[in-house]
Structure 1
Amino acid sequence: MSILFKGLAEPSRMTIMRALMIEAELCVCDVASLLQAPVANASHHLRSLHRIGLVKHRKDGKLVWYSLDDEHVRSILQLAMVHEEETEAPHVQA
């Protein structure tokens, strides 16, 4: 689980995951536009998310489309978002 949460801890990756909750699929160019980053950076983040099992991809000609891997991933993200909304500030312990 630590690999999963480490992958989600990166702000750009969390932005991608939130977008994939709204859109069924996004291509690398869509993600690059969303992040306002080069396609190479977007592709790197998507490969990382794929490697840890959070997103899946399909090829359509030269385009690669990404989507959430399954409903478990969607549930994890929805629970995290609800928790974030209910929590005023992060709890930090020394």
Structure 2
Amino acid sequence: MEHDVCGSRIIHPHKIAAARENALPATEIADLSQIFKALADPSRLRLLYALTREEMCVCDLSALLEISESAVSHQLRLLRNLQIVANRREGTVLYYRLKDHHVSELIALALEHLREG
């Protein structure tokens, strides 16, 4: 049985120094954490996955996810504030889409990892 504990206590200062030199600033870690928190919610993830295919309005997303329009709007507001989704207005309807390809790539990579299983 493998253990995640080091069998012998050897510290490699050059590895620690290199890791510290390449570490992300605390502000980027905090922002990155917020993105992963947003992706960790099942409703938001289902919503985002739907938006990988095409843009949709709140009513369509509500019907798809079988949750209230208010709940969908709340989730979209959070995702918009994190710059994960964007919208465009057509008359009185707001259509939502992923802001760019990065989120769909994250989801695709995570699915690939999961399915390798």
**Structures share a fold, TM > 0.5?**
yes
What percentage of aligned pairs have identical amino acids? 40
- Cα distance, 1:15 vs structure 2: 0.3
Question: Quick one: distance in 1 between partners of 2:91 and 2:74?
Answer: 20
Which of 80, 83, 91 aligns to 1:50? It is 80
Structure 1 SS opposite 2:72: helix
Gaps of 5+ in 2: 1-31
Greater gyration radius: 2
Q: Which residue of 1 aligns with 2:46?
A: 15
Please, what TM-score do these two structures have when normalized by structure 1? Answer: 0.85
Q: Which residue of 1 aligns with 2:98?
A: 68
Superposed CA deviations along residues 6-64 of structure 1, whole A, max 9, x for unmatched, are 00111000001111112x20000011111111111111111111111111111111111
Answer yes or no: is the 8 Å Cα contact 2:49–2:104 preserved in 1.
no
Question: Quick one: distance in 1 between partners of 2:104 and 2:49?
Answer: 9
Superposed CA deviations along residues 60-81 of structure 1, whole A, max 9, x for unmatched, are 1111100011012221111111
Query: Which structure has more RCO (C-alpha within 8 Å, separation ≥ 6)?
Result: 1
Question: Quick one: distance in 1 between partners of 2:110 and 2:87?
Answer: 23
Code of the residue aligned with 1:78 in structure 2: it is A
Moved over 6 A (4+): none
2:55 corresponds to 1:25: yes
Gaps of 5+ in 1: 88-94
